[in-house]
Structure 1
Amino acid sequence: MMKVSRRTGLKLAASALGAAMVNASGIRFAYAESKDVLVIGLDMSDMNSFDPGHQFAYSSPIVMMGAYEPLVTMEPGDYETVRPSLAKSWERVDDGQAWQFNLREGIQFHTGNSLSAEDVKFTFDRLINLKDNPAELAGNIDRVDVIDPLTVKIVMKDKDQPLLNLLVGPTFVIADSKAIKEQGGTSTADADTTDQATSWLDSHSAGTGPYIIRQWERNSQVVLDRNDNYWRAPASFKRVVLKHIPESATQLLTLENTDIDAALNLTPPQLNDLEGNENYNLIKGTSLDYVYMTLTSSSELNKALANKKARQAIAAAINYDAMIDGLMAGYATRPPSFIPNGVGGATSELTNEIGYQYDPDKAKKLLAEAGMPDGFSFDLYYGDASVAGTTYSLIAQTVKSDLSKVGITANLRPVDQSTARDKYRAGELPSVLTFWNPDGPEPWTWASASVQRVSKRVRWDCPPEVTELVTKAGSAKTTEEANKWYRKYMEALVDNANYLILFQPIYRVATRTNIKGWRLTAAGWQVNLYDIQPSS
C-alpha cells in the first residue's frame, strides 16, 4: 500500500473540496488563466447585502467600493488627508454647521443616468430612513439640501461632531436614485417598512464605480464586470470574480494551482511558507481592524458575568501575547480598548500602560473578590468562519484553555456566522468572539459605537459621564485635546471589561506575480479593485 504523507493527504483533501466547489459553481476557476479576469479567494460567509443602506459586514465592502464611490476618499496608508472622489471640492459653510460639496460634471451611473445632487440627497435620506445598522453612522446628519444640480449641502445636528472623515467609507457611497426608485426603493420616513429595492440591489449595480455587480450566489461567488464608461478610465480587468473559499488550505491549494490570483485568508504558517517564493507576492499592511471578545453585563444572560470583577478576571486570565505569537505568528498588535492602534492616541505603549495584561494571579484574586473563588462558567459563541488569518474556533480554544487555568469554564458554542452576527446584534449572547472593521478612519466612530449601539449588545447601561468623554473627544479642536479625552474614555472601558480586544492584525495577502497594484487599505474595505492590474 502506498503511504501518503500528512501534507500530501491534506492537499488531496483540499483538492477534492476545491473540485467540488468548482463543479458547483457557474463560473470556473479556469478564469484565472485569463489576463482579462481577476479571481480572488476569500471567506465571504458574513456577506449580507450589497444595498448601501443595509450592508454592514466585513467582506461586503470590497465589492461595494468596486461598484460604488463616495463623495470623498483617502489613499491607503494616509488616513488623515481627505481627497476628492465624486466631489471635486468641498467647504464648511453656515458658520461651520454644514459641509457643501461640488460634484464632478459628466459622471454617469451604471444605468447611464447622470450623477446629480438629487442622488446624494436621496442616498443619504434613504440611508437614514432605512433605520438599519449603517444609519447610526449618519446620526449627525440633520438634513441634506440640494443647492443646484451639482451642489449639495449636508447640514449637521452638532457642528462640533465629526462628519467629513466618515464620508469616505462604504456606508456613504452614492447610489442612482432613479434606478432604485424604479425597483421600489424610497427615501421617505417610512422606508424601513416600505422600501422594496434591496433584493434588486443585491445582484445589480446602482453605482458609478469601475465595476458593475452582475451576480451574487451566496456562499459561492460574486461576479463583477468592468464599467467601460467609468469616468476615470476603464479598469484593467474585464471581470472580477470573488470566490467563497472558507478553508485556508483550499485557498492555498487553489493559489498554488493558479486557479485564483489572490488569497485573503491564509494562516500565518501558510504565508510564512510562501515568503521568498518567486511565484508570489506577500502584501503587508497594518490594519485598523481587530478581533474582540464581548462579556455581557446582563444577569439574565449570565449571573456571574453581570459582576464586573468576574469580567475583569477573564480579562486578566487571557495570555494575549501568546495568542498573537501562536495564532498570528507575531503579525498583530493590541490596542488598549475599542479604538485601534493608529488613531485616537491608541498605541501598543498605551496598552502596556492602561490595557489588560496577562496575570493569572490577579484573575484568581478578582474571582475571590467577586465571591467566586472556585470560578464560574459561561457560554462563548463564535461563528464557524475564518478571521484575520486564523479561525474563530482556534481563538475560542485558546481562550478556553487560558481561562481553565484559573477555574473559569468557557462552554464553546460554535454557530454559523450569520447566526452569531444576528444574535450578537440583538443582545442575546452572554459572550461572543467577533470582528470590527472600520466604517471610516475616524476614532469617534469606534468610540461612539461602543457607548451606543454596541453597549446595547452587551447590555451595558453606559454612564452619561463616559458618553460625555466621547462627545468631548469628537468636538475637540486639536488632535492632542481629542486624544486626552479618548484616553479617559479607554480607561473607563478597560475598567468595565465588556470588550476585550484580543489582537489587531498586521495583514498579509498572498497574490500571484501575474498581478500588481494590490494596496491594502485600513479605511474599511481592504483593497481598491481598480488599482489591481495584470503584471504584463
Structure 2
Amino acid sequence: MADHENAIYRTLLDGARAGRLTRREVLKRGLFFGLSTPAILNLLAACGGSDGGDQNAAPTSSSGGSDSTPSGGSGDSGGGRNESSNREFVFAVNGGVPDLDPQSAYDNVASSLFLATYEMLIRFKGESTFEFEPMLAKSWEHNDDYTEFTFEFDEGIKFHDGTTCDAEAVKASFTRFLLMGRGPVGVISRFIDDPERQMQVVNPTTLKFIMNKPEPLFLPAMASEYGPLVVSPAAMEEHKTDSDPFAHEWFSQNMVGTGPYKVTEASPQDRFVLDRFEDYHGTPPFFDRIIARVIPEDATRRQLLEAGEVHGTAILPPEDLDALKENPDIQVVEYESTQTNWVRMNYVTIPDPRARQGLAYAWPYNEVIEQVLRGYAKVQGPVADSVIGYDPSIPVYSTDLQKAKELLTAAGIEEGTTFTYMYATGDATSAAMAQLFQANLAEIGINLELMQVDRAAYLEMEYGDAPAEERPHFVANIWWPDYNDPWSQLYPNFHSDSIGSKGSNSSYYANKEVDALLDQMRDASTEDEIREATRKVLQIMMWDDPAAIFYAQIRKATVLRADIRGFIPNGIYINSYNFNNMWREAT
C-alpha cells in the first residue's frame, strides 16, 4: 500500500474505532479517496460491527426519508416480534415482464421477481456493495491470488419442480447460461470461457470455479441479480427442442428455481402471484404470498399505495415522493444508488460526432435536475461516483443552445430537421424531460417528435434485433452496474458485441477504440488498470464520440406502507426487495 493510501486507511480506521465514522461513512470516504477494493474490504473487516441496524428493522417514520439501514420495529425474528396476521405483500411495478428467463432477461422489473423465485450463489450483504452473505451456497472460499473459488451447498436442496439442486445441477445451470449467450451473459463470461474445464464438481455439495488469471471481481459478479441465477436443468431437458436447445422459450414464460417463492400465477401484463415454497432450503420467509401488480401509471401506483391496496413500490416521480413524506401511513426509504440516467443517441442515423455533441449541449440539465427530478439527482456521466473508475476530472455537459446550434450546423443538420424520441407509456418523468428537450430544440429550429410506447414494445426496442434504421433517434434509458465495476456498466450498453439481443446496445454504438478499452478493462488484473481504461472510455464516450446524453446520477427511494419492516435498500439491487427479511408489524 502506498504511503498516501496507508495514511488514508489509518485515518479511516481510527475514526471508525473511535465511533466518529459509521461503516457506511468509511465505505463512502474510502471510495472517494480512491482506496482499492481489497483495502476497503480489509478496512471494513477491521472495523467490525455494523451501523446499528438490524435486518428485521424498517423505518417507523416517513418524515424526511432515510438513507441508512432501516431501524425500528419490535423484537427480532426469534419470536419476539409483534407480527401481523396479514401475510400478503403486494408491490406495484411500472410495466410487464415479457421474458421470465433469468439467464436472458436484462430487465429490472423481471429481476425484482427473480430475487423471490431464483437464487444466486451469494448476494450482497445488507446495504453493502463489497460484502457478501449466503444465498444458494452456504459458504465459499478463494485462494490467495483469486484464481480458484469454491462454493459449498447444503444437501437436499430442491427446485420448485421437486428435482434436486446439487453441485452438478448448479454447474449445468451455469453451463446453460454461458452457452446460451443471451442478455446478461457478460456478467460471467468475462471470467469463464470454458465451462467444462473451469467448473469442477468436487462432490455433490461442492463446486469449484477455476479462473484463467487473478479475478478479484468474480465474487461481486456472482452476487449480481442479472444472470447468475440457478435454473432447473431438469426443466430445461424436459422442455428443450431441436430449435431451442436451452428451452429459452419455455423459461421465458415459466420460472423454476430454488428461491423462497414459486410462481402460481403469471399474467405478464397484469400480475404475478408468488406463493411460499414449502420445501425452501433456507429460513422460511414471513410473507406467505407475494403479488406483483403491473401498474404503468405513476398516479395509479400512488393512489393504490395510499389506499393500502398496494404495500410497496420502487418507482414514483420525485414530486410524489416529497408529498408522501408527509403521510404518516407511508414510509419513504431513500438511499444512494449507482444508477445513472442517459438518453441513447442512434449512432447509425446520427453518424457525425459534432451532431451528437450539439444535441448533448441542447439537453436541459438544470431544469431536469431541479424541476423534474426535484433534486433526487446530480449531473453525472455514465459511471456513478461510488463506482470503481469514476473520474471527477472529466467534465460533464451544461446547456448551451448557441453552441448546440453551431455544432449541429457544422454537422449539416438543417433547421426544420425532425428527430424522434421514444419512452415508455406511463413514465411521467421521462415525458416531462422529453418535453423540455423538445422545447430547447425548437428554440434552435429543430423538431422533436415524441413517441410513447407500452413497456413491452420499449423492451423489444431495447433488447431486440431491429436494425438501427428502424429505431428512433433517442431512447430514454437508465442503468446501473451489475456489481461494483465500471465494465459491467459500460460493456452491455456500448460495446459493439452487445448490439441487439446480445446485450443492451440499442443505439448501435460502435467505436473501435472504446471496444478495445472495454476489452482491456474486462481482462485487467488490477484496479489501477481498470481505472485508467475507464478514464479513457469516458473521455471518448462523453466528448470525442458521444454515445448518449448523460445527464444524472440518481438518489433512489422505495415507498412502503408504514407497517412494513425489514426492508434494506442496496445501491446495486435497485428497485428490488429483500423478501426473505421483510415482515409486517401488527398495528
Q: Same fold (TM over 0.5)?
A: yes
- Aligned mates of 2:95, 2:413 — CA distance in 1: 41
1:172 equivalenced with 2:217 (yes/no):
no
Query: Counterpart amino acid of 1:335?
Result: Q
- Aligned mates of 1:193, 1:229 — CA distance in 2: 30
Counterpart among 184, 197, 203 of residue 148 in structure 1: 203
Compute the displacement of 1:95 (Å).
Answer: 7.1
Map of 1:87 onto structure 2: 137
Counterpart among 50, 74, 88 of residue 37 in structure 1: 88
Query: Counterpart amino acid of 1:415?
Result: V
Query: Counterpart amino acid of 1:308?
Result: P
Alignment of 1:383-422 (within 5 A): 383-386=424-427, 390-422=428-460
Distance of aligned partners of 1:228 and 1:381 in 2 relative to their CA distance in 1, 3 Å threshold: same
**Alpha-carbon contact 1:294-1:433 (below 8 Å) kept:** yes
Distance of aligned partners of 1:505 and 1:306 in 2 relative to their CA distance in 1, 3 Å threshold: same
Distance of aligned partners of 1:200 and 1:318 in 2 relative to their CA distance in 1, 3 Å threshold: closer
Map of 1:370 onto structure 2: 411
Identity among equivalent positions (%) equals: 25
- Aligned mates of 1:231, 1:146 — CA distance in 2: 21
Output the TM-score relative to the length of structure 1.
0.83
1:498 equivalenced with 2:539 (yes/no):
no
Map of 1:117 onto structure 2: 167
Worse-matched range after superposition: 154-163 or 376-385: 154-163
Secondary structure class of the residue paired with 2:138: strand
Counterpart among 452, 458, 466 of residue 514 in structure 2: 466
Compute the displacement of 1:330 (Å).
Answer: 0.8
- Aligned mates of 1:269, 1:506 — CA distance in 2: 14
1:489 equivalenced with 2:537 (yes/no):
yes
**Alpha-carbon contact 2:286-2:583 (below 8 Å) kept:** yes
Counterpart among 272, 278, 288 of residue 222 in structure 1: 272
Secondary structure class of the residue paired with 1:340: coil
- Which digits, 9 at most, give the CA deviation of each residue in 1:497-520, with x for residues without a partner? 122223232112221112111222
Compute the displacement of 1:403 (Å).
Answer: 2.1
- Aligned mates of 1:106, 1:443 — CA distance in 2: 38
Secondary structure class of the residue paired with 1:135: helix
- Aligned mates of 2:330, 2:422 — CA distance in 1: 36
Distance of aligned partners of 1:518 and 1:179 in 2 relative to their CA distance in 1, 3 Å threshold: same
Map of 1:30 onto structure 2: none
Secondary structure class of the residue paired with 1:80: coil
**Alpha-carbon contact 1:161-1:471 (below 8 Å) kept:** no
- Aligned mates of 1:234, 1:137 — CA distance in 2: 29
- Which digits, 9 at most, give the CA deviation of each residue in 1:130-156, with x for residues without a partner? 232233333232213322212223344
Map of 1:341 onto structure 2: 385
Q: Where does the alignment leave 5 or more consecutive residues of structure 2 unmatched?
A: 1-83, 500-504
- Aligned mates of 1:137, 1:92 — CA distance in 2: 19
- Aligned mates of 1:197, 1:421 — CA distance in 2: 17
Distance of aligned partners of 1:56 and 1:424 in 2 relative to their CA distance in 1, 3 Å threshold: closer
Query: Counterpart amino acid of 1:236?
Result: F
- Aligned mates of 1:424, 1:69 — CA distance in 2: 25
- Aligned mates of 1:174, 1:383 — CA distance in 2: 30
**Alpha-carbon contact 2:312-2:561 (below 8 Å) kept:** yes
Compute the displacement of 1:442 (Å).
Answer: 2.6
Compute the displacement of 1:63 (Å).
Answer: 0.8
Worse-matched range after superposition: 99-108 or 140-149: 99-108
Counterpart among 550, 563, 573 of residue 514 in structure 1: 563
Q: Where does the alignment leave 5 or more consecutive residues of structure 1 unmatched?
A: 1-32
Alignment of 1:51-450 (within 5 A): 51-92=101-142, 97-140=147-190, 141=192, 142-143=194-195, 144-156=199-211, 159=214, 162-170=217-225, 171-182=227-238, 184-185=239-240, 193-196=244-247, 198-199=249-250, 202-203=253-254, 205-298=255-348, 302=349, 305-337=350-382, 339-346=383-390, 349-350=392-393, 353-372=394-413, 374=415, 376-386=417-427, 390-425=428-463, 426=465, 427-428=467-468, 429=471, 430-449=473-492, 450=494
Query: Counterpart amino acid of 2:476?
Result: L
Secondary structure class of the residue paired with 2:338: coil
Distance of aligned partners of 1:180 and 1:370 in 2 relative to their CA distance in 1, 3 Å threshold: closer
RMSD of equivalent CA atoms: 2.7
- Aligned mates of 1:130, 1:326 — CA distance in 2: 44
Number of residue pairs the alignment of both structures matches: 484
Worse-matched range after superposition: 121-130 or 284-293: 284-293
Output the TM-score relative to the length of structure 2.
0.76
Secondary structure class of the residue paired with 1:354: coil
- Aligned mates of 1:65, 1:112 — CA distance in 2: 19
**Alpha-carbon contact 2:496-2:509 (below 8 Å) kept:** no
Compute the displacement of 1:381 (Å).
Answer: 2.1
**Alpha-carbon contact 1:119-1:176 (below 8 Å) kept:** yes
- Aligned mates of 1:346, 1:130 — CA distance in 2: 32
**Alpha-carbon contact 2:271-2:292 (below 8 Å) kept:** yes
Distance of aligned partners of 1:274 and 1:459 in 2 relative to their CA distance in 1, 3 Å threshold: closer
Map of 1:19 onto structure 2: none
